[in-house]
Structure 1
Amino acid sequence: MTHDSLRIRRSRWSRPHCPDGAGGKSSKSMSSDFSEEGGEAEISAFCGKNGGRRPWLRQRSERQEAEERRQRRQWRAQRRAAKGASTASKISSPSGPSETSDAERRFLFLGRQPRFWRGLDVRSWTTEVQRPHVEQPPPQDPSLIPDAKVREFQENQVVLLRGAITDWVPYLKSVVQHQMEHPQVSAFVTGLRSFFSMDYVQAGLFLTNDRFFDFWTSSPLAGLAKQLLQCEEVRLIVDQLNVNPHCPPFTDVEKFHTDVGVISAVAREEDVLRCWIPLESGRQEGIGTLEFEVHGERKRFDVKLGDVLMFTPTIPHRVLFPANSQYDEDRCVIIASLHGSTADAGPVAVPEFPRIFPTTDEAEVAARREGRLYDSAERYFQLWGRPFALAKEWLQFITYEQKKPSESKKKRRETI
């Protein structure tokens, strides 16, 4: 390689010097350096109006920034797509193992999937009554529970009803998906508890979502509850959506609890039936379902999609958590408290606890439609208990303490 060729190669990648007044070197010497690469045209491209700076570096930097912006936009789009697809596919997909996307693994925070933070994000809240367009299944003939199942419930306080709502599963999945994507403002209040034991939780669904109310008034569940409770009318006290429960901190995973603390202050425990509706089948060894304590022995049920568990609020039970509390698929469950009465329902006969069997009460439906339910804090405390007592009962539910019916609660019912 000649000395001239070395000089030319080196000069091409070294900092160019502009003509007189720009870089301190004459245009003649610059022309000799670049004579084999295009002469004055290249000098002009390097110097021009940029006064000795390196525009090729500036242009390269702009290209890099543009590429980085494009990659960031693509990454955000993929992240949004992963969130939407996981919510839709995991709720609607059949049970079985599934792979968590790389985007979801990357953004796991304190064991929570990013989509579940919507319940705590003020930008996602809505205060209006929700009316998603979801078509109901065709009407069904009333279902009859075999006498053997009724006796099983009376003896064990729990019974599994196979295929009780199979036709309603697609409807519920669509409504639940919409609810999670558009959390009601009440999701913030109940979502605070999700730091302890849920990824997403929202109570009082029927109060703010017409489609949940339609489910309770049109599905066969109210008629099934009537047969188990052997009553004349059934009222809905509360319903709730639970997604991916976790063992509360400082709590033994083997610990049993009761649901006495989560029913109304004006309802008797013996008149209430807990309804547990999973939106997916149970996994191996019952993971994601419930285990009950029946006559001193543990009992699990092989729950399939469309099945319903009915049990009393006083029976000890626990959730079967997965290893490390990580769910490959969302475990969505709708839980409700149904009240049965043979004559006058007494203090429970209020619009806040609407009648759903044998028929609805038009006055109660109108009160719900016009937003006249729980119109004051005093009204809420009257039906659910004073703040201190209410906090104790919620704490019992969070920490899985087994609570027995209290005398104060009985006195409260007598005075209303």
Structure 2
Amino acid sequence: MPSPVAFASYSPASSSLVPSLVRSDLRGHLNDIKALVLSTVKSLPNSPIPSPIQSLRQGNWVKLICGASFEDAADVRNLSLVYTLAGVDCIDCAADAAVVGAVNEGIDAAMSIAMVKRPWVMLSVNDDKEDVHFRKAEFDPEDCPSDCPRPCEKVCPASAIVIQRVVEGGGSVENNRLDKLQGGVITERCYGCGRCFSSCPYDRISATTYARDPTTTSKLLQRSDVDAIEIHTSGRRTDLFNLLWDSLVDSIENAKLVAVSQVLDGRPMSGDIGKGATREAIAFAIQLAATCNKPHGFYQLAGGTNAFTIESLKKYGLFQTNHIDYVVGNSSEARIEDEQIDPRQAYIGGIAYGGYARKIVGKILCKLPRQDGHAWIEDHPEYLLEALNEALTLVGPVKGYIAYRER
């Protein structure tokens, strides 16, 4: 039977990066990458590296969220490679065969480079169309005024909007009325954050919502390289949840872990925006801590998580603890008894990083030259080393790597 897990989502936000773990004059050879990975593995308090379930119990579980709607296979592959080397326990991705294949290709590539444990691959699905994680932006650029400053391009964190001005008939003309715009939303890159909606001065951008096909999901769960599933639900339509569950029942036994995620985060997909969301997220975590009848299972922080998340958890004593002394109502002021982790379950099982994790590595992926549509980061070890260094700024503090414990 799969292990149950209750995932409540919060929403912290971004931070300045931890200083680099490696010298700036490294040339990016694969041997340097192997040495860096080996140094993190050796720094773990326990050996061998804990299994994902053990990580949840200890409170140092880390999940990479590629995105329930993010379907750029090249980026998904490279992100999976980098964060596998960094030591994540799980990689969450869209329930799409091409995306699942890209995740596993990245994991295999990482394991061929260094001795790391294989993270679980988790499918992300929904039971209705209300969840904002399952939508895409859309608009017709030909309906846009030719003199539009195109703020949607600038605000998109996924670089999923590309618009070009063209002149009908070719050549250059002075009459702007002959200009038109082409391009629009790159569907596979859009993950539905919604920032472009309010940025459009002409209100031309809309959202198209969808639910993942349960038949496709059921087939994917039968694959040997898929380990877990997360079901997004609002909790308001139990009939839809039951319908989805019934359609998956023949395959869900193959999963090592089943996560049920309610849409409780204040600012989903906001980790790359700023620190402000952290206060709201931690306040919600404290409120949850004061709840007497909490759902059974593990609790994972997600939705806006970033480099400030661990700092905030430590401030209120919620990181890797297993006993809560008391919490003052719904206030963000709380005193939590600070205990070392013991064999019992940690209060917060771990952290899931999404938009922020993609942002800090994505800025390096943008440097990769694409040849024949391929851009494999391991073909450019200097970039891989840089990307791994960035990934460790998130994974290291949760896992307790020595480089972070000493800072």
Q: How high is the TM-score relative to the length of structure 1? A: 0.24
Q: How high is the TM-score relative to the length of structure 2? A: 0.24
Decide which structure has the larger Cα Rg and report it: 1
More contact order relative to length (CA 8 Å, sep ≥ 6): 2
